[in-house]
């Protein structure tokens, strides 16, 4: 009988068919590597809590050095000269009597203060004014203010001028209180700055009252 050889042949052919099926089946891709949530690189790393210099706020600028006596004197002189020039610009402009009186007071008292500042640099008590970048900036700002006022229409000039006086005196008062007076060690200079401050405060109060009264009703 040939039954056994036939069975062997069938078994061999079946095994060969299985090997061919395995070879023909496409290879399966390996499972992707596990990544940590939020890790775009797939490396499984965890973000560090360490901040770089780009993450931190820039350092605050160093406070300005206290002004020297010469700088303080030059700054106050620049304010006085600007206020005198602002009053002189009003010549030929029609002001109400209270505002004209205020302008005349500013001219008189800033002229007196300017003379007192110059006395501090006389032979009796030498403080030489120092022209610094800060002084140049203050002078330039004053000139820009006067140029803007010069181009103001006549009907609006009085109120614009009063606003400029209020703003200028407020800024000068702040400068005296925050920088010039605290830095003054020289007694004559300190007395001069305190006297200047008293006048600035009075000028500011008077200017604000006139500005308030000039508002349209």
Task: Say what the pLDDT of residue 214 is.
Answer: 87
Task: Say what the pLDDT of residue 217 is.
Answer: 64
Cα separation, 184 vs 179, in Å, equals 9
Cα separation, 172 vs 176, in Å, equals 6
Q: Is CATH 1.20.1260.10 the right assignment for the domain spanning 69-213?
A: yes
Nearest to 90 by CA among 152, 140, 139, 144: 152
> pLDDT-based confidence at 129, cuts 50/70/90?
confident
Which has the higher per-residue pLDDT, 82 or 59? 82
pLDDT in tens, 132-178: 999 999 999 999 999 999 999 999 999 999 999 999 999 999 999 99
Task: Say what the pLDDT of residue 122 is.
Answer: 74
Task: Say what the pLDDT of residue 192 is.
Answer: 96
Task: Say what the pLDDT of residue 123 is.
Answer: 59
Max CA separation in the chain (angstroms): 147
Ranges of each domain in the chain: 69-213
pLDDT in tens, 22-46: 444 444 555 555 444 444 444 444 4
Task: Say what the pLDDT of residue 56 is.
Answer: 58
Task: Say what the pLDDT of residue 215 is.
Answer: 82
Cα separation, 76 vs 206, in Å, equals 20
Question: Is the pLDDT assigned to residue 54 strictly greater than 60?
Answer: no
Nearest to 69 by CA among 216, 196, 198, 187: 187
Which residue has tokens 């009907």? 155
pTM higher than the cut 0.85: no
Mean pLDDT of 91-111: 96
Mean pLDDT of 99-114: 98
Question: Is the pLDDT assigned to residue 74 strictly greater than 90?
Answer: yes
- How large a percentage of the chain has pLDDT more than 70? 69
> pLDDT-based confidence at 59, cuts 50/70/90?
low
Nearest to 90 by CA among 165, 177, 189: 165
Which has the higher per-residue pLDDT, 118 or 34? 118
Nearest to 196 by CA among 159, 215, 169: 169
Task: Say what the pLDDT of residue 10 is.
Answer: 41
């Amino acid at each position: 009988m040939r039954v056994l050889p036939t069975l062997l042949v069938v078994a061999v052919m079946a095994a060969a068919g299985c090997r061919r099926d395995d070879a023909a089946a496409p290879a399966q891709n390996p499972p992707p590597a596990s990544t940590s949530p939020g890790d775009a690189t797939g490396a499984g790393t965890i973000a560090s809590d360490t901040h770089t210099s780009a993450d931190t706020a820039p350092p605050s600028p160093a406070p300005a050095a206290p002004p020297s006596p010469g700088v303080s004197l030059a700054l106050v002189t620049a304010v006085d000269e600007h206020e005198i020039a602002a009053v002189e610009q009003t010549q030929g402009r029609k002001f109400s009597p209270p505002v004209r009186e205020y302008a005349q007071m500013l001219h008189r008292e800033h002229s007196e203060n300017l003379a007192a500042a110059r006395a501090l640099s006389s032979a009796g008590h030498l403080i030489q004014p120092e022209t610094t970048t800060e002084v140049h900036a203050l002078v330039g700002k004053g000139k820009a203010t006067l140029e803007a006022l010069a181009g103001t229409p006549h009907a609006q000039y009085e109120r614009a001028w009063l606003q400029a006086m209020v703003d200028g005196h407020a800024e000068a008062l702040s400068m005296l209180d925050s920088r010039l007076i605290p830095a003054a060690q020289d007694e004559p200079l300190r007395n001069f700055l305190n006297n200047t401050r008293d006048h600035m405060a009075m000028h500011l109060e008077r200017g604000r009252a006139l500005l308030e009264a000039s508002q349209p009703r």
